[in-house]
Amino acid sequence: MFEDRADNQCIFPLHWKKILQYTKHRYEDNYVKSLKESKLLFEEYKRNHYIKSKTLKELLLLSNCTSVLFYARLYQEQYGLGERPSQIIKEKQNASWMFERDYCFMNIRATAIDTADTGNMIDAVKLLPGLRVSGIHIAPFFACDYGIIYCQNSFYQINEEIVHKELFDAGVNAIEQMKFYIDCCHLLDMAVGFDMTPHTSWKSPLRLDHPECYRWVRLNEDRTGLYEDMSIDEQYKDSFQKICQKNILSIANELKVEYKIEKFDVSEYSQEAERIVQVGNQKLKEQGYYSVPPQTWNGVGVPSYKKYSYGVDMPIWDYRDSKGQDQGQHAIWLHSCFYLHKGMRANRMPDVIGQHKNAEKVIFNEDTRQFLISYISEIVEQYQFDFVRLDYVDHIFNVQETKDGQLPVSETLTPDELKNMIDSLRQKWPGLGFQADHLGKDGVKFGKAGFNIITGEEVGRQFNIENERDIFDYLMDSEKIGNNQCRPNWAIDTHDMAHPLFFGKELALREGRVGMLARFFVSRFGNVGPYRRPKYEVIGNQVLASGIHRANNRPESLAWTEDLVVFNGYHQIEDLYDALKDELKDCRIISYEIGLKNIVFTLEYLHRNAFFIGIVPIPIVNGKNCNDCLESEKSFVLRNLGGRKMECFVSTTAKQLDFTNRCLKEDFIQIDGGESGQNMKIELKESGFLLIRLTEQEGYEENGK
């Protein structure tokens, strides 16, 4: 057990006790050394509220014992009576707290030190104190199929790949390990959210537990066509769906009796449980039952059955848009979509009752609605999550407005349905936050559907001259469009920007050091004011690591680097932001100028006659990545800002991008015309990033005399 002081009366939660007991026994020979190392880390964290004496790679190299003891010290200081650390939302009356925090996406599976390995929950907690955020967005962590974390096989069983095997063998099960991870986040005052997908893998055991939540087709015995030569729309009618669901439930119940089990989607993995699910899935195949995949993002209705492929032993589906054009290239056919709406048809817009003779009314499937609400509630309570990111809601506003409400164009939840579900969940947790899987500027619209955060569209644009104007125009508009219901975050990166539909290449490889630091710099010093947008980063951005998109789709980890330029710049930007953030809340961006290689922007204080000037290099010039090269314009004219006292906070050198807090501006800039009362010319001796504050000179008058 943790022992470091004579008066230690700390009582740990049961799962903590088990981890501490294992740790002391497993690392007995180095336990005293780990106590000392953990104390040093603890003292650094207490001074700064983060750890920057070690890179992320160095944190991963810490012994498990040192990391566990570091958190034990935090728990001992903050709690100590056996309770789990509190949820961030415990006392919250609404979700506006989400605007005050900053977030990092973490795929726990991608946190091993070696790229070829998979990380686990003990690896992942080592990284947390090295992040300058106050919220963690956990990638899907339940069991998946085909190595794709968003292709969830289970809604309850934690992915074996992220479970610490020795801890598991010592009696600390997967759920207890996840609770420990979340407890560690909360000890660091980090909110924690999880991904919720409205679909599963096509062979998920959840289909056997809840056939009423899936849409089914039934094939004939030789699989050459649909059962009894029915049309696909006949099979999609709710009357036939009820028959399918009843028959599948009967198959499932017979297996439960035979194998003496209560459910198929169990929380703990075992070979026997997996075998029983395989038996169940085989019986569904033998009877011709297959669950239907999601429609593509630009499709209409639900996919149609096309043919059976004996090569992959699965149906092939047909995906069409409103013009009847094939959209199969966008299909996610490995998934099975929940049966969200009754009355949907194959590759056709839903019928409005009264306009079509045989129209079946499109209504929200109450069985699925109740399951989703119950499931989210259960997971939030069990693990003590603070927010939920809902996947596959990017196009929820593709609806038809009718006198009876909203009709979905395809099988996705409508804004009204989402709002109803979120409101139901907030009856129990008023402060529960919701993030939408959506990239754009339309936070106000998504706020009406109950969301608090969407992803800002800057992340989908390269930092080049062509895009900078739109990026900074939007920063200037943030005050006009700001609201306290839903805001776009200021995303440095997301987990899927390397997808071929976006850039096809990781941010670290696209824009390099300059691009990464430029995004961090603007997220802090261009994104200001009372409607500041939360910063959102991805694990690995902090050291220019790459591979997050690849790691989402195969069992491997990031390609870790120890890029000290980016690592130091990241922390120095954050240090400066911490020192200035209260002032920056009282500022707004009022102008910007784009040069050939630099952007100069001006912040104005709202309640005093003072300004900030920021200068940022453009990382992509003429289609080329600047990387270490910061050759740029060396002079700038600040109009109507002359005659002011100047303080320089940060600059970089062209060679090392070394962010340094400076007091003596003469080291790297020269002022011309500062006493004229009109314009001020700044001549840079060093190219790169710059942040200066201009305040009134003592005795300065408007006429400059």
Identify the burial level of 624 via C-beta atoms within 10 angstroms of its C-beta, where 0-12 means exposed, 13-18 middle and 19 or more buried. exposed
Q: Is pLDDT at 696 greater than 90 in this prediction?
A: no
Residue 332 confidence (pLDDT): 87
Task: List, for residues 315-351, the tens digit of each pLDDT value.
Answer: 999 999 999 999 999 998 899 999 999 999 999 988 7
Close Cβ partners of 456 (under 8 Å, ≥ 6 residues apart): 439, 440, 441, 474, 488, 489, 490, 491, 533, 536
Close Cβ partners of 333 (under 8 Å, ≥ 6 residues apart): 202, 293, 314, 316, 317
Task: List, for residues 470-527, the tens digit of each pLDDT value.
Answer: 999 999 887 666 667 899 999 999 999 998 888 889 999 998 998 999 999 999 999 9
Q: Please give the Cα distance from 76 to 41 (Å, whole number).
A: 15
To the nearest whole number, what is the mean pLDDT of the chain? 89
The strand pairing partners of 690, in sequence order, are 615, 651
Q: Please give the Cα distance from 413 to 223 (Å, whole number).
A: 32
Q: Tokens representing 534? A: 């939360």
Three-state DSSP at 552 gives helix
Q: Are strands 433-439 and 453-455 parallel, antiparallel or unpaired?
A: parallel
Three-state DSSP at 696 gives strand
* Domain boundaries along the sequence of the chain: 14-199+370-455+462-579, 201-365, 587-696
pLDDT above 90: percentage of residues in the chain? 74
End-to-end CA distance of the chain: 72
Identify the burial level of 32 via C-beta atoms within 10 angstroms of its C-beta, where 0-12 means exposed, 13-18 middle and 19 or more buried. exposed
Q: Please give the Cα distance from 40 to 354 (Å, whole number).
A: 73
CA 476 remoteness from chain centre: 25
Q: Among 22-26, 355-359, 395-399, where is mean pLDDT lowest?
A: 355-359
Q: Please give the Cα distance from 483 to 451 (Å, whole number).
A: 12
Q: Please give the Cα distance from 385 to 382 (Å, whole number).
A: 8
Task: Work out the widest C-alpha separation in the chain, in whole angstroms.
Answer: 95
Q: What is the mean pLDDT of residues 199-215?
A: 97
Q: Is pLDDT at 438 greater than 50 in this prediction?
A: yes
Three-state DSSP at 117 gives coil
- Render 198-255 in DSSP notation, one character per residue: SEEETT-THHHH-GGGB-EEEB-TTSSSBGGG--HHHHHSHHHHHHHHHHHHHHHHHH
Q: Is pLDDT at 436 greater than 50 in this prediction?
A: yes
Torsions phi, psi of 378, nearest 5? -65, -45
pLDDT band at 230 (very low <50, low <70, confident <90, very high): very high
Residue 115 confidence (pLDDT): 96
Q: Tokens representing 98? A: 């989400």
Among 70, 6, 3, 10, smallest CA distance to 43 is for 70
Homologous superfamily of 14-199+370-455+462-579: Glycosidases (3.20.20.80)
Among 361, 377, 359, smallest CA distance to 421 is for 377
Q: What is the mean pLDDT of residues 194-223?
A: 96
Residue 697 confidence (pLDDT): 56
pLDDT band at 643 (very low <50, low <70, confident <90, very high): low
pLDDT band at 352 (very low <50, low <70, confident <90, very high): low
Distances (CA, A) of 446 to 68, 394, 434, 452, 529: 40, 10, 10, 8, 22
